[in-house]
Chain A
Amino acid sequence: MKYFAEELDIAVIGAGHAGIEAALAAARLGCKTVMFAINLDSVGNMPCNPSIGGTSKGHLVREIDALGGEMGIAADKNTLQTRMLNTGKGPAVHSLRAQIDRRKYCAYMKNVVENQQNLILKQAEIVSLTRDEDGLWHLFTRLEAEYTAKCVILATGTFLGGRIFVGDVSYDSGPDGMFPATELAQSLKDLGVQLRRFKTGTPPRLNRNSIDFSVMEPQYGDEHKVPFSFDFEGEIENTEACYVTYTNEKTKQIILDNLHRSPLYGGKIDGVGPRYCPSIEDKIVRFAEKERHQLFVEPCGGDTQEMYLQGLSSSLPEDVQLEFLHTIPGLEKAQVMRTAYAIEYDCVDPLSLRSSLEFREFDGLYGAGQFNGSSGYEEAAAQGLVAGINAARKILGKEPVILDRAGSYIGTLIDDLVTKGCTDPYRMMTSRSEYRLLLRQDNADRRLTPIGYEIGLISEERWNKFNRKLELIEKETERVKNVVIHASDALNKMLVSRETSPLNIGVRMVELLKRPQISYADLAEFDIERPDLPYEIFEQVEISIKYEGYLKRQEAQVAEMRRLEVKKLPEDIDYSKVVGLRLEAIEKLNKVRPENIGQASRISGVSPADISVLLIRLQGE
């Protein structure tokens, strides 16, 4: 029998990486919040790779942290191995990645959620979502409890209409053997939300004891360990190794011989899979000339023997998987604990969302994570944080927080989703940001902590700490601009060894730091009065000096872009009635419904002439 359970401000459906950030942010901003999970043991689960961060995703985690989110600190506290990627390729593309103890991470996150004031964690499957005339949302659980909420955040991941494929076997299922959410999709459709099918997949997990590591190359973590969180204090664990092995001609042949048994090539899967995360059969078909494909064997935790096999995602039948797996050096006797699978799920076209992640058509309804067409834990968490903040602000009567492309990867991610849409699951990449020299992982706090503080997710203590850091950077920058490095044989020897010209007379340190070949560390012994400061202070000073010209150039581009970004377009504008727009532009504009002229100008099919027409229209209003 139906019964009324509770009246809430915000209900979050789903307790993955998006749901957690959304629920925590909402509760921390003072809203009475509930987070529903189909299984409480899946809170913060990593059903795919046991790692957080990576190229551009590491940037996202640091940005989430800088705004007051939880993912960074949770990763730091449950790390097995940490590496800064791309260290030789320039500061814009340095990216932190950590292998994570996934069970510990889940336990940590669940505990944080449980202890959060204003937040209720509830195991329940939501089967129906409706809105009454007053705009209040009603949620019903499978056990017939009714909850009401002013705002609802959909963070359903691969649970929504989830269906698993392994060869010709398929069945309704959530990830990792969890129950799927089967009825909510229909309820959303009844509401008028248009859903579509996306697909993703995961490789097998193997028992560590069945693997011969002696034929694989080990890969260890960094000696200099950097945390994700700007607020992390303490030591990061860095104990585990990953291992590299390769597929070969035999692997390839077995896969080719059995392609007809793949649900992807057999046409059973309608969902669109991600380009960046192809299954092994995809890789072999699309890149037929490649003789071998690289695989990584990664630990799933400190107290489990499960190993994740990165690079071998597949939806071929279990017997085929075993056959080709055993052709791989070191895996000849590998025992598969969890079979690789493809999973299809329901998600929304993100063009139906605003930059706040609220549905344009449904007041108080928000989407985050895979539900919005993205992929990846970090992308999900980033959107969850923004959706949570904006749902809370709506209830508190405040304007939504819109992060723009010029200020963060989070802003770039959301802007890409809501203005360009996506035809396959969207993954963040450094090359997606045109302002990547400014949006570095090292300065995420300088870019976003002031915003996080203003929102109310940064404590006074952390704020003070942040301001002390800024002071140190400023002071050190001043010092470097004034301190003179004297010419000496030792200095010139070092300069020449770095293939840069020696000095006849002393110069200010800033001049030497401008040389790409010379680092802060190189000058240590010649910079006698150097204060004892943390590495990240020197890093900030050095980057701003070395890249000064390039940074200024990007800042000018940002100013130009923001000029158009402040010109808001009215929400109710009917573009077919705007005299002078071209037909294609009318169609695109009516579909995307950009919030401002800047967004409009990024839509393919909207020409500069159309932008002129819109500007005129704006002035006429």
Chain B
Amino acid sequence: MKNSTTVAAISTPVAAGGIGVIRISGDEAVDIVSKIFVPSGKKIVADMKGYTAAHGIVYDGDKAIDEAVLLVFRAPHSYTGEDVAEISCHGGVYVVSRVLRAVLAAGALPAAPGEFTKRAFLNGKLDLTKAEAVMSLISAQGEQSAGAAMTALEGALSKKIIAAAQTLITDSAYLAAWVDYPDDEIEEISTDKLLADYKNVLSEIESLLNNYDAGRAITEGVDTVIAGKPNVGKSTLMNFLAGFRRSIVTDIAGTTRDVVEDTVRLGNVVLHLADTAGIRETGNEVEKIGVDFAVGRVERAALVLAVFDLSREFDNEDKAVLELCKNKCAVAVINKDDLEPKFDLSVLDNFKHIVYISAKDGKGAEKLAEAVESALGTNSVDTSAALLANERQRLCCEKAADCIREAISALEMNMTLDAVTVSTDSAINELLTLTGEKATDAVINEVFSRFCVGK
């Protein structure tokens, strides 16, 4: 299929897992990936041949999201028969969807249900029998997402989106009646009123978009880093949280050299945990890489669990941890509660949330959960509040917001209203994707229910 659009989707199950794969397929697949993936070696993404791989970092703008492996397939030797790029990143719903979002921002469109298979069929990679099997699958998915849409329809999100659309529809209907019935006594709507309405709707949609990440904290989890000087008990805390031994735990400082990932539920919140190498000056090259990586990790994390050892005195390495936690959402976790206290607690004045635990004995889990929720503010989040549920909804809102911005700028430039309403119609259409209505129909129905017009 020539000149097709390039689409992307998460192609591993959307659930916590060891690895997540984002597949991008289409003529521009490799181009798009080259905008967000920076190989660690000398490889140039655009020049990669089929069946080759590269290790590197995925960026969203100038912000690193994850380290990942990139696989490139060249047409026609791929699943879809098109150029395909696959990014294998760390598992966990949150990281994977962040990567997908970066890919979409770089120019790919979200793949429709079954789209990869459809393309595979269209390019002759699947025979009709197989394709027919896939068709049932596509429709099953369609049904499922229709079901999901229905649930969403009853939910707070839809109410909010529909309310936003309704404001635009009401204004558009007013303008339509004003235009289509010039002889009827319909007063001109003021530019100020339109501007005010459009700006209100825009800020509603923007707040939905902003809450997208906060909502994910609850639905999909928070990037969390366990930080602290060596042998303070980070891995023990991790295992305590995860409920199983994940990291190698020894008494020799510096055992943990990689960032270890896990996803755990603490109270109402899902945490994507990264246990990091202890933060300290080190001469050991391998360990140094681990330490540098940990520092970077802390900087990018949404939540830091800063671990301090109550049985040892405050030192420069603890101080480095304190520095790292500045301006971060952080909880001070005082470990080894069971041993004789030597640690000067007054240095932790900057922490709003301090908990005492004994990771080894499994004591203090409830308190830690409370502190984390309080730090994240999730204890005060109303889970029934409007939250964008998925990438498609987010994209619709983003497009709608763009259209409204265009309408606002047209109004501010004193363009005639016919140019303005074309933009707001597009915005309404984007928002109504959720209800399946069409803007023109919605506006016309509104005209007749609201205005007494006609001969």
- With A516-B415, A550-B422: A431-B454 Cβ-Cβ less than 8 Å: no
The answer to whether B422 and A554 have CB atoms under 8 Å apart is: yes
Is the CB–CB distance between A609 and B113 below 8 Å?
yes
Q: Is the beta-carbon distance between B139 and A609 smaller than 8 angstroms?
A: yes
Please name the residue on chain B nearest to A203 by beta carbon. B455
Q: Are B455 and A277 closer than 8 Å at their CB atoms?
A: yes
CA distance A25 to B422 in the complex (A): 34
Chain B residues with Cβ below 8 Å from A581 are 139
Q: Which of B169-203 contact A (CB under 8 A)?
A: 172, 176, 178-185
Do the beta carbons of A86 and B182 come within 8 Å of each other? yes
Q: Which residue of B lies closest to A604 (CB)?
A: B436
CB-CB under 8 A from A93, the residues of chain B are 179, 418
Would A276 and B179 be within 8 Å (CB), given that A516-B415, A579-B132, A612-B113 are in contact? Answer: no
The reply on A582 being an interface residue by CB < 8 A is yes
Contact A616 B121 (CB under 8 A): yes
Is B135 an interface residue, CB under 8 A from the partner? yes
Q: Which chain A residues lie closer than 8 Å to B113 at the CB level?
A: 609, 612
Known interface pairs A616-B135, A619-B122; A278-B452 also in contact (CB < 8 Å): yes
The complex places the Cα of A125 from the Cα of B181 at a distance, in Å, of: 37
Q: Chain B residue with minimal CB distance to A434? A: B440
Chain B residues in 8 Å Cβ range of A278: 452, 454
- The residues of B that contact A610 with a CB separation of less than 8 Å are 139, 142
Whether B398 sits at the interface, judged by CB under 8 Å, is no
Residue among A48, A275, A431 with max Cβ neighbours from chain B (10 Å): A431
Is B114 in the interface zone, CB < 8 Å from A?
A: yes
Partner of A516, one of B128, B184, B413: B413
> Which residue of chain A is the closest to B448 with respect to CB atoms?
A275
With a cutoff of 8 Å between Cβ atoms, the chain B residues found around residue A91 in the complex are 416, 418
Across the interface, which residues of B come within 8 angstroms of A203, CB to CB? 455
User: Of all chain B residues, which has the CB nearest A546?
Assistant: B415
Residue A615 is within 8 A (CB to CB) of chain B in the complex: yes
**Docked-complex contact B139 and A613, CB < 8 angstroms:** yes
B179 to chain A, nearest CB (A): 5
- The yes or no answer to A395 lying at the interface (CB within 8 A) is no
Give the residues in chain A near B328, CB-CB below 8 Å. Answer: none
B145 within 8 A of A: yes
* Residues of chain A contacted by B443 (CB below 8 angstroms): 431
Which B residue's beta carbon lies closest to that of A581?
B139
| A residues 588-618 in Cβ contact with B at 8 Å | 602, 604-605, 607-610, 612-613, 615-617
Residue pair A90, B121 in contact (C-beta under 8 Å) = no
User: Which A residue sits closest to B176, measured CB to CB?
Assistant: A431
Residue of B nearest to A310 (CB): B455
Asked whether B414 is an interface residue with its Cβ less than 8 Å from the other chain, the reply is yes
Contact B118–A616 (Cβ < 8 Å): yes
Query: Is the pair B185, A436 in contact by a Cβ cutoff of 8 Å?
Result: no
* Chain A: CB-nearest residue to B183: A296
Closest residue of chain A to B143 (Cβ to Cβ) is: A582
Cα separation A91 to B118 with both chains bound (whole Å)? 43
Q: Indicate whether B112 reaches chain A with its CB closer than 8 angstroms.
A: yes
In whole Å, how far is B109's beta carbon from the nearest beta carbon of chain A? 12
B417 within 8 A of A: yes
Cβ B455 vs Cβ A436 within 8 A: no
The complex places the Cα of A296 from the Cα of B132 at a distance, in Å, of 62
**B141 interface contact, C-beta 8 A:** yes
A275 vs B441: C-alpha distance when bound (angstroms):
14
**Residue of B with least CB distance to A557:** B426
Nearest residue in A to B3 (C-beta to C-beta)? Answer: A563
Q: Which residues of A contact B439 (CB under 8 A)?
A: 434
Most A-side CB within 10 Å, residue of B146, B176, B413, B452: B452
Assess whether A430 is interfacial by the CB under 8 Å rule.
yes
Contact A547 B419 (CB under 8 A): yes
A55-B180, A429-B180 given; A89·B417 CB < 8 A: yes
A-contact 0/1 string along B407-425, CB 8 Å cutoff: 0001001111111011001
Main secondary structure of the interface of B (DSSP, over half): helix
Question: Shortest Cβ distance from B135 into chain A, in angstroms?
Answer: 3
CB within 8 A of B422: which of A55, A85, A436, A605?
A436
- Flag if B185 contacts A580 (CB, 8 Å): no
Cβ of B139: which chain A residues have Cβ within 8 Å of it? Answer: 580-582, 609-610, 613
Taking CB atoms and an 8 Å cut-off, the chain A residues in 549-601 that contact chain B are 550, 553-554, 557, 579-582
**Cα of A311 to Cα of B440 in the assembled complex, Å:** 26
Does A516 lie within 8 Å of B444, measured CB to CB? no
Q: Is A462 an interface residue (CB 8 A)?
A: no
| B118 touching A294, Cβ below 8 Å | no
Question: Would B444 and A619 count as touching, CB distance under 8 A?
Answer: no
Which residues of B sit under 8 angstroms from A617, Cβ to Cβ? 135
Q: Is the CB of B455 within 8 A of A92?
A: no
Within 8 Å by CB of B444, from A49, A432, A605, A608, lies: A432
- Choose among A49, A311, A431, A547 the residue that contacts B172 (Cβ–Cβ < 8 A): A431
**B374 in contact (CB, < 8 A):** no
In angstroms, Cα B444 to Cα A498, docked, is 35
A293 interface residue per 8 A CB criterion: yes
- A residues near B134, Cβ cutoff 8 Å: 616
Which of A36-44, A283-291, A366-374, A520-528 faces chain B? A283-291
Query: How far is it, in angstroms, between the C-alpha of A56 and the C-alpha of B184 when the chains are bound?
Result: 16
Please tell me if the beta carbons of A294 and B184 are within 8 angstroms of each other in the complex.
yes
Q: Is the CB of A92 within 8 A of B452?
A: no
Answer yes or no: B11 CB below 8 A from chain A CBs: no
Residues of B within 8 A of A296 (CB): 183
CA distance A398 to B173 in the complex (A): 42
- Is A313 located at the chain interface by the 8 A CB criterion? yes
Known: A431-B443, A604-B436. A612 touches B176 (CB 8 A): no
Contact check, A609 vs B416: say whether CB atoms are below 8 A apart: no
Does A437 reach chain B (CB closer than 8 Å)?
Answer: yes
Contacts of B422 in A (CB 8 A): 92, 434, 436-437, 550, 553-554
Interface assignment of B48: CB less than 8 Å from any CB of chain A: no
A619 lies within 8 A of B414 (CB): no
Tell me if A609 and B112 are in contact (CB < 8 A): yes
Q: Across the interface, do B454 and A432 meet the contact criterion of CB distance under 8 Å?
A: no
Q: Tell me if B106 counts as interface (CB < 8 A to partner A).
A: no
Q: Is B447 an interface residue (CB 8 A)?
A: yes
**B 141-155 to A, binary, CB cutoff 8 A, 1 in contact else 0:** 111011000000000
> Does chain B have a CB within 8 A of A464?
no
How far in angstroms is the closest Cβ of chain A from B276? 43
Q: Does B138 contact A (CB under 8 A)?
A: yes
A575: min CB distance to chain B, Å: 12
A267 at the interface (CB under 8 A from B): no
Chain B contacts for A56, CB-based, 8 A: 180
Is A115 part of the binding interface, using a Cβ–Cβ cutoff of 8 Å? no
Contact A580-B138, Cβ < 8 Å, known A93-B179, A437-B422, A607-B436:
yes
**In the bound complex, how far is the Cα of B113 from the Cα of A232, in angstroms?**
55
A517 is an interface residue with CB less than 8 A from chain B: yes
B436 to nearest A CB, angstroms?
Answer: 7
**Interchain nearest-CB distance for B450 vs A (Å):** 9
Interface residues of A in 411-439 (CB under 8 A from B): 420, 429-434, 436-437
CA distance A430 to B141 in the complex (A): 37
Residue B115 interfacial (CB < 8 Å):
yes
Residue in B closest to A308 when the chains form the complex, CB atoms: B455
B-to-A contact residues, CB < 8 Å: 112-115, 118, 121-122, 128, 131-132, 134-136, 138-139, 141-143, 145-146, 172, 176, 178-185, 410, 413-419, 421-422, 425-426, 436-441, 443-444, 447-448, 452-455
Q: A311-B455, A616-B118 are in contact. List 4 more A-B contacts (CB 8 A).
A: A430-B179, A547-B419, A607-B436, A612-B113
Which 3 residue pairs of A and B lie closest in terms of their CB atoms, listed nearest first?
Answer: A609-B142, A90-B416, A90-B418
21 contacts between A and B (CB under 8 A): A90-B419, A92-B422, A276-B454, A286-B452, A311-B455, A420-B441, A430-B179, A431-B421, A431-B444, A437-B418, A516-B415, A580-B139, A582-B139, A605-B436, A608-B112, A609-B142, A609-B146, A610-B142, A613-B138, A613-B139, A616-B122
Residues of chain A whose beta carbon lies under 8 Å from any beta carbon of chain B: 48-49, 55-56, 85-86, 89-93, 95, 203, 274-278, 283, 286-287, 290, 293-294, 296, 310-311, 313, 420, 429-434, 436-437, 516-517, 547, 550, 553-554, 557, 579-582, 602, 604-605, 607-610, 612-613, 615-617, 619-620
